[in-house]
Amino acid sequence: MLCKNWTAVLLVFLLAFQVSAKEGMWIPILLEKYNLAEMQEMGFKLTAQDIYDVNHASMKDAVVIFGGGCTGELISDEGLLITNHHCGYGAIQAHSSVEHDYLTNGFWAMNKSEELPNQRLTVSFLEYMEDVSDKVMEGTEGLDETALRDKIRSNTQTIVKNAGQEGKFSASVKPLFYGNQYFLYVYKVFRDVRLVGAPPSAIGKFGGDTDNWMWPRHTGDFSLFRVYANKDNEPADYSPDNVPYQPKKFFPVSMKGVQQGDFTMVFGNPGTTTEYWAHQAVDITMNQRDPDRIMLRDKKLEIIGADMESDPAIRIQYAAKYQSISNAWKKWQGEIKGLERLDAVNKKLAYEQEFKAWAEQNGTWESTYKPVFDEFEKQYEVYAKYVKASDYYSEVVLRGVEVFRHAQAVSSIINFIEGKQDEVAKVRRAAAVAGLEGFYKNFNQPTDEKLFAELMPLLAAGLSDEFVPAELKEMVQKYGGRELVEKVYRKSVLSNREKLEKLLRDGSDKQLLKLRKDPLVNLYKQIDYINETTVSPKVREASAAIDAAMKIYMAGLMEKNVGKAFYPDANLTLRVAYGKVEGYEPVDGVEYKYYTTLTGIMEKDNPEIYDYDVPDRLRELYENKDFGAYGVDGTVPVCFTASNHTTGGNSGSPVVNANGELIGVNFDRCWEGTMSDIMYDPKVCRNISLDIRYVLFIVDKFAGAGYLLNEMDIVK
Ligand code: ASP
């Protein structure tokens, strides 16, 4: 009997151990405390200070937030940076035209003077992070809900202001564990970041939407940039006088490759996860929010995709938009499947039952946690109702029919004129005029009209009456899709660039105020009114109440599991995920290997299929077995999978080996594991990385830009 019990205890321990070896996005300054021993047991050969150290150069000095939501890493002492192709995509697209189609043909600067500057692209280096929980909570004892929130806000503002050192740094304080802890993050932001190289989409996006979120995978998902600084090595706006930034640290690049079971670590900026959600949140996501958004995006992708296929200019204009719509659209589909397979809602319910039993046993249920669970029940019902409208507005109005963006600008100008805030109205007008050029560069009105014709009826049909302006309901009932365009869209001044520009530039206030009657402005205003007066506040209030309840629940979870290391949900800050190089079993009877090769690219090769049309040069290299130093067993390694817990934002993250050398660039996850943002399953959750040897092969042999390798520290 004793023996049996011990086996059970050991088994539980081992299971817990296995899970913790893979699940988790850990805080760099807490590695020593929570993770280092395990990392070293798994093969890691360095110290926690090699990863993060404020006093000496460490890996963190070579990792950046790239743009708004990706990761990038430095790979030379001349500011050379690698990230994903899909992260650099907006920049590559912005430089592309039918004449210089870098999306199709790729782009390679053959020296520094050919590198292309990018407006508004930044990279942020983390100077330091700090636990500021005590400072944030200072003076909050005994305050009621509202006063508490205000005090936390004002404390946070003071911390951020001090850390920013008058503009030298960009600082933010973020809550962890739903506000049980607060961390300060201080960044140095570089604003001159130039495009150095990008493979053609037929490499960088090989497999397209078909293969996205899938394994086996053969995508050469990388692009190269260079960070520039002023003569003092400090951030500066673009100037031809700027010089390549000299980082405190850059990653050596390993040619040694990966083997089954090797230790791997991903060091990047995961965006958002929600691993501790209550069951209601999981339920709403998989049964309402994901399906709604998928359905609306189905329509958008169908319309935009058909137009892109019909005209090369439209293909370039809409490439980046299409990519961002389809990326989440496909992920949500995988997420639903994964959550269903895991029976996630019932798992959460069981977990909550277990929690309840624990709380009952220690006498805290009635007083502390029952109110929390009651609050979940109440608030999630409200949330579900209003977030539905919010999702529709977001997909259709804010990020669907693009001409509504003019409506948004115009109606805010009208509001300022009405409110007699003439100066602000003027500034808004100037900003709206300035934004027109960029807007129309990537805009095709017939496409937008089709979106209007199809999406407005979906909005009217999908939402209950209280969320649909009566006029819209009427319009949709009266006119069919195309007629709707004629009677509403085309009647609006917003559908005429010249007139709109003239009005914004030279129109009198009176003329602008007349736009209140413009059919699109009017429609936008009505939807915006419902959103601003009802939908948004309800979602906000419910979310705030849920978060407040989550704070107590989270603290309870930690108390219940003393001794267990918890990782906070991702929040686009620097985290460490560690695991092993390994494949997985997607379904019974099938085993996936951990790597793919160029041979697989050639197997997929099919000029008839857009996603699988291998460039001639790559085909030629393969046929001649011209692999240079990058060939392994008669082919070239392309991608590999590992058990590192990653999410969006980790795109472009360095994947390093036990010695801290770069072996790959993280870019995706496997289909069966896309629910990992909500519930992680160590059996099938795998991140997908680009093998760095494929990058070197493409740069050197395919593109003939081998000069770039000279500035890298290549470990053979
Ligand atoms: N490919 C993913 C993305 O673009 C990265 C991930 O979520 O793992 O968001």
Question: 617 and 501 in one domain?
Answer: no
Contact 300, 451 (CB under 8 A): yes
Out of 650, 655, 690, mutate this one to test ligand 1's pocket (max ligand atoms within 8 Å of CB): namely 650
Question: 291 and 264 in one domain?
Answer: no
pLDDT tens sequence across 67-95: 989 999 999 999 999 999 999 999 999 99
Asked if residue 148 belongs to a domain, the reply is no
pLDDT of residue 160: 98
Domain count within the chain: 2
pLDDT of residue 17: 40
Confidence tier at 480 by pLDDT (50, 70, 90): confident
pLDDT of residue 2: 36
Mean predicted lDDT score pLDDT of the chain: 95
Question: 528 and 661 in one domain?
Answer: no
Question: 96 and 5 in one domain?
Answer: yes
Rounded Cα distance, 225 and 229, in Å: 13
Confidence tier at 22 by pLDDT (50, 70, 90): confident
Cα-to-centroid distance, 220 and ligand 1 (Å): 14
Q: Which domain-ending residue is among 527, 558, 589?
A: 558
Out of 84, 89, 326, 331, mutate this one to test ligand 1's pocket (max ligand atoms within 8 Å of CB): namely 331
Cα-to-centroid distance, 84 and ligand 1 (Å): 10
Instruction: Locate 208 and state its tokens.
Output: 């397209």
Q: How far is CA 448 from CA 73, 337, 404, 490, 661, in A?
A: 37, 32, 10, 11, 47
Beta bridge partners of 469: none
pLDDT tens sequence across 610-657: 899 999 999 999 999 999 999 999 999 999 999 999 999 999 999 999
Q: Does pLDDT of 7 surpass 70? A: no
Rounded to an integer, the average pLDDT of 16-36 is 79
Question: Which atom in ligand 1 lies closest to the alpha carbon of residue 213?
Answer: 1
DSSP secondary structure letters along 343-411: THHHHHHHHHHHHHHHHHHTT-IIIIIHHHHHHHHHHHHHHHHHHHHHHHIIIIIITTSTTHHHHHHHH
pLDDT tens sequence across 102-160: 999 999 999 999 999 999 999 999 999 999 999 999 999 999 988 999 999 999 999 99
- pTM check: above 0.75: yes
Q: Which residues line ligand 1 (CB under 6 A)?
A: 86, 327, 646-648, 650-651, 667-669
Cα-to-centroid distance, 576 and ligand 1 (Å): 16
Going by alpha carbons, the residue nearest to atom 3 of ligand 1 is: 648
Name the nearest CA neighbour of 64 among 573, 648, 567: 573
Rounded to an integer, the average pLDDT of 2-21 is 39
Helix (H), strand (E) at residue 691:
strand 687-691
Contact 243, 562 (CB under 8 A): no
Cα-to-centroid distance, 179 and ligand 1 (Å): 26
Q: Does pLDDT of 512 surpass 50? A: yes
Which of 411, 651, 653, 676 is catalytic? The answer is 651
pLDDT of residue 10: 37
Rounded Cα distance, 265 and 663, in Å: 10
Question: 525 and 399 in one domain?
Answer: yes
Asked if residue 285 belongs to a domain, the reply is yes
CATH number at residue 640: 2.40.10.120
Question: 204 and 328 in one domain?
Answer: no
Name the nearest CA neighbour of 103 among 363, 442, 584: 442
Out of 669, 670, 674, mutate this one to test ligand 1's pocket (max ligand atoms within 8 Å of CB): namely 669
DSSP secondary structure letters along 190-219: E-EEEEEEE--HHHHTTTHHHHTT-SS---
Q: Does pLDDT of 35 surpass 60? A: yes
If you ran DSSP here, which 8-state letter would residue 237 be given? -
Question: Which atom in ligand 1 lies closest to the alpha carbon of residue 669?
Answer: 8
Name the nearest CA neighbour of 711 among 67, 196, 163: 196
Q: Does pLDDT of 13 surpass 90? A: no
pLDDT of residue 294: 98
Question: 402 and 453 in one domain?
Answer: yes
Out of 83, 647, 675, 677, mutate this one to test ligand 1's pocket (max ligand atoms within 8 Å of CB): namely 647
Domain that holds residue 331: 279-558
Q: Which domain-ending residue is among 558, 592, 615?
A: 558
Which of 61, 76, 86, 292 is catalytic? The answer is 86
Question: Which atom in ligand 1 lies closest to the alpha carbon of residue 677?
Answer: 7
Rounded Cα distance, 524 and 522, in Å: 5
Contact 74, 62 (CB under 8 A): yes
Rounded to an integer, the average pLDDT of 325-352 is 97
Going by alpha carbons, the residue nearest to atom 9 of ligand 1 is: 648
Helix (H), strand (E) at residue 439:
helix 422-441
Asked if residue 568 belongs to a domain, the reply is no
Going by alpha carbons, the residue nearest to atom 7 of ligand 1 is: 648
Which of 53, 61, 211, 221 is catalytic? The answer is 221
Cα-to-centroid distance, 270 and ligand 1 (Å): 9
Confidence tier at 481 by pLDDT (50, 70, 90): confident
Rounded to an integer, the average pLDDT of 572-594 is 97
Question: 593 and 525 in one domain?
Answer: no
Rounded Cα distance, 62 and 74, in Å: 5
Question: 593 and 531 in one domain?
Answer: no
In the residue annotation, 221 being an active-site residue is answered as yes
Cα-to-centroid distance, 593 and ligand 1 (Å): 21
Question: 355 and 436 in one domain?
Answer: yes
Rounded to an integer, the average pLDDT of 288-298 is 98
* Residues contacting 369, CB < 8 A, separation 6+: 355, 356, 359, 552, 553, 556
Question: 22 and 106 in one domain?
Answer: yes
Going by alpha carbons, the residue nearest to atom 4 of ligand 1 is: 648
In the residue annotation, 279 being an active-site residue is answered as no
Cα-to-centroid distance, 668 and ligand 1 (Å): 5
pLDDT tens sequence across 383-436: 999 999 999 999 999 999 999 999 999 999 999 999 999 999 999 999 999 999
Cα-to-centroid distance, 648 and ligand 1 (Å): 4
In the residue annotation, 651 being an active-site residue is answered as yes
Asked if residue 539 belongs to a domain, the reply is yes
Asked if residue 629 belongs to a domain, the reply is yes
If you ran DSSP here, which 8-state letter would residue 570 be given? P
Q: Which domain-ending residue is among 558, 591, 608?
A: 558
Name the nearest CA neighbour of 355 among 344, 364, 345: 364
Cα-to-centroid distance, 606 and ligand 1 (Å): 26
- Tell me which residue has tokens 């496909």: 330
Contact 169, 127 (CB under 8 A): yes
Contact 228, 190 (CB under 8 A): yes
- Tell me which residue has tokens 């909005």: 459
Question: Which atom in ligand 1 lies closest to the alpha carbon of residue 651?
Answer: 5
Q: Is 608 exposed, middle or buried (0-12, 13-18, 19+ CB in 10 A)?
A: exposed
Asked if residue 158 belongs to a domain, the reply is no
Asked if residue 423 belongs to a domain, the reply is yes
Instruction: Locate 138 and state its tokens.
Output: 């200072």
If you ran DSSP here, which 8-state letter would residue 114 be given? G
Confidence tier at 4 by pLDDT (50, 70, 90): very low
Asked if residue 646 belongs to a domain, the reply is yes
Question: 425 and 308 in one domain?
Answer: yes
Helix (H, G, I), strand (E, B), or coil: what is residue 3? helix
